[in-house]
Amino acid sequence: MTATSDLFRQAAQILRDQGHTKGAYVDPDGRVCALGALSTAATGNPIPPETITPGILAAMGILAARIDSNIVDEDDLERIADWNDRRSTTAKNVIAAFQAAAEAAQDTADVIPLHPASQAVAA
């Protein structure tokens, strides 16, 4: 088990390694959006599972609280997708948001397991 903050750090590294995309969890070149990077860190798959675990939902809430989205009445997934897909949102912005979320989650007791393939990079 790895702390929630490590999940965000791993998602940032995945985005650095694979690149950033908009409008899809993952594009044909393997680039991922913010949600795709977060899902890859948690599950090994850039496409979030149909039923998102409470831990991942909590992580999305931490991230959604640190971004500027026009969507305020929707769920966190929609807020993150809206923000990621804006023309003005860059990979650098997404990585900075993951880093801010990691710092915010540093003191939390919530623990989200990383996908086994991701654990080596997070360590």
Q: Read off the tokens for 11.
A: 């998602």
**Cβ pair 48, 121 in contact under 8 A:** no
- Give the pLDDT score at 75: 86
* Alpha-carbon span 69 to 81, nearest angstrom: 9
- Give the pLDDT score at 44: 93
**Cβ pair 8, 105 in contact under 8 A:** yes
- Give the pLDDT score at 108: 59
- Give the pLDDT score at 39: 93
- Give the pLDDT score at 123: 43
Amino acid at 33: C
- Give the gyration radius of the chain's Cα atoms: 13
Q: Read off the tokens for 38.
A: 């977060």
The domain limits of the chain are: 4-122
- Give the pLDDT score at 117: 47
Would you give the DSSP letter of residue 87? T
Tens place of pLDDT per residue across the chain (123 aa) = 347 899 999 999 999 999 999 999 999 999 999 999 999 999 999 998 888 888 888 899 999 989 988 887 768 999 999 999 999 999 999 999 999 999 988 865 544 444 444 444 444
**Backbone phi and psi for residue 65, each to the nearest 5 degrees, phi listed first:** -75, -10
Residues in the chain: 123
- Give the pLDDT score at 101: 94
